[in-house]
């Protein structure tokens, strides 16, 4: 059941590009007062210009870097000054990036960066803004405030060469499950959006992280072909329109009972169902075939 909603304020992080930007513009067109979180002034100017071109009036921007506590604190203060008390209806934790590469070759610094953005950043923003969501519940009633986490089918299905990204999304799934149960007594509903591969700069960032790996590492030749196969696969599948994800976020915000999870895309649904139905070895075989992981690789002789 979809409920009609009065004008409400919603904060969406990671609106500089990709799914966040598309979602912000879509919801603004649908009557929400959107506060689009961006990291740079240039990104703020860009999304505001696009909103004006679409004749969107209720879209504001907020500078926020989810990896820095000072930035989140300033953004929280700025948000409180930007909107009336008790009117923040929802937060969409969308900010994210992808780190690509085999576990052996991805530096720990890149693993930490992956989790700082995709996991700890989402926790920090949620912690900072929960008091404002509780104010909305006090003003408007139970079930009116929402937290939406942008996860991925990668949070259900781990894939070769995407270990850091999948690990961060697995973590986000566990965090969101706990949060959903913890916030239910307070009248705040939590949803997870689990897209497959859609148009997003996140895949370009992932390819960049793979390009930055140490190609002089002795083990690199073992993984080289797998990385090339992954890049070809990403180029092929990451062309589905992002508007489907934006509509899923809207469903999470407007249903009277927020869905715990929404899988978006045929690839996401097929992956989740296959993971559930197939024995692990058979599922591994199917994924390895999809990603071009060879049955065996020739190991170079160990240097004497």
pLDDT in tens, 253-265: 999 999 999 999 8
Kindly state the tokens that stand for 251. 């469903």
Nearest to 284 by CA among 162, 169, 159, 166: 159
User: Which pLDDT belongs to residue 7?
Assistant: 53
Name the active-site residue from 32, 115, 165, 170. Answer: 165
- Whether the CB-CB separation of 153 and 263 falls below 8 Å is answered with yes
Residue 292: left if φ>0, alpha if ψ -120 to 50, beta else—which one? left
Has residue 304 been placed in a domain?
no
User: Which pLDDT belongs to residue 170?
Assistant: 97
Beta-carbon contacts of 40 under 8 Å, excluding residues fewer than 6 positions away, are: 16, 63
Q: Residue 38's CB: how many other CB atoms inside 10 A?
A: 27
User: Which pLDDT belongs to residue 3?
Assistant: 42
Nearest to 161 by CA among 109, 245, 222: 222
Has residue 297 been placed in a domain?
no
Nearest to 134 by CA among 181, 91, 70, 82: 91
| CA gap 46, 266 in Å, rounded | 32
**Per DSSP, what are the bridge partners of residue 192?**
149, 261
User: Which pLDDT belongs to residue 14?
Assistant: 96
| CA gap 88, 33 in Å, rounded | 10
CATH assignment at residue 80: 3.40.50.720
- Whether the CB-CB separation of 227 and 106 falls below 8 Å is answered with no
Has residue 200 been placed in a domain?
yes
Read off the pLDDT of residues 9-60 as tens digits, 9 standing for 90 and up: 999 999 998 899 999 999 999 999 999 999 999 999 999 999 999 999 889 9
Has residue 270 been placed in a domain?
yes
| CA gap 256, 249 in Å, rounded | 14
| CA gap 64, 72 in Å, rounded | 6
Please give the distance of CA 145 from its chain centroid, rounded to a whole number. Answer: 20
| CA gap 148, 34 in Å, rounded | 14
Instruction: Write down the residue that tokens 């003003």 correspond to.
Output: 139
Has residue 300 been placed in a domain?
no
| CA gap 197, 218 in Å, rounded | 32
User: Which pLDDT belongs to residue 57?
Assistant: 85
User: Which pLDDT belongs to residue 4?
Assistant: 42
User: Which pLDDT belongs to residue 115?
Assistant: 98
Q: How many domains is the chain partitioned into structurally?
A: 1
Has residue 30 been placed in a domain?
yes
What is the dihedral angle through the alpha carbons of 242, 248, 249, 250, rounded to the nearest 10 degrees? 110
User: Which pLDDT belongs to residue 299?
Assistant: 78
Beta-carbon contacts of 117 under 8 Å, excluding residues fewer than 6 positions away, are: 66, 67, 95, 96, 97, 168
Beta strands in 42-131 (DSSP E): 59-63, 88-93
Has residue 206 been placed in a domain?
yes
223 as an active site residue: the answer is: no
Has residue 299 been placed in a domain?
no
**Regions of the chain where pLDDT drops below 70:** 1-7, 200-212, 214-216, 233-239, 303-304
Beta-carbon contacts of 262 under 8 Å, excluding residues fewer than 6 positions away, are: 191, 192, 193, 194, 248, 251, 252
Helix (H) or strand (E) holding 35: strand 33-38
Domain with 49, as residue range(s), is 9-290
User: Which pLDDT belongs to residue 240?
Assistant: 74
């Amino acid at each position: 059941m979809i409920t009609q909603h009065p004008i409400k304020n919603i904060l969406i992080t990671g609106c500089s590009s990709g799914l966040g930007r598309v979602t912000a513009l879509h919801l603004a067109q649908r009557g929400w007062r959107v506060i689009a979180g961006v990291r740079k002034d240039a990104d703020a100017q860009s999304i505001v210009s696009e909103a004006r071109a679409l004749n969107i009036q209720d879209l504001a921007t907020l500078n926020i870097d989810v990896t820095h506590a000072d930035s989140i604190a300033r953004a929280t203060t700025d948000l409180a000054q930007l909107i009336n008390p008790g009117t923040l209806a929802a937060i969409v934790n969308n900010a994210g990036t992808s780190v690509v590469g085999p576990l052996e070759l991805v530096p720990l610094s890149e693993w930490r960066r992956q989790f700082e953005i995709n996991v700890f950043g989402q926790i920090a923003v949620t912690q900072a803004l929960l008091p404002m969501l509780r104010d909305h519940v006090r003003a408007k009633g139970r079930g009116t405030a929402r937290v939406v986490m942008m996860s991925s089918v990668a949070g259900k299905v781990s894939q070769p060469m995407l270990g850091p990204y999948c690990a961060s999304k697995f973590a986000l799934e566990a965090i969101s499950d706990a949060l959903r149960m913890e916030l239910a007594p307070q009248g705040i509903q939590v949803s997870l959006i689990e897209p497959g591969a859609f148009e997003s700069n996140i895949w370009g960032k992932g390819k960049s992280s793979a390009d930055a790996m140490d190609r002089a590492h002795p083990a690199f030749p073992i993984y080289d072909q797998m990385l090339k196969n992954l890049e070809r696969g990403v180029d092929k599948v990451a062309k589905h329109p992002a508007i489907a994800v934006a509509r899923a976020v809207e469903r999470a915000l407007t249903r009277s009972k927020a869905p715990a999870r929404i899988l978006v895309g045929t690839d996401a649904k097929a992956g989740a169902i296959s993971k559930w139905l197939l024995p692990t070895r058979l599922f591994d075989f199917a994924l390895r075939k999809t990603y071009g992981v060879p049955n065996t690789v020739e190991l170079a002789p160990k240097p004497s």
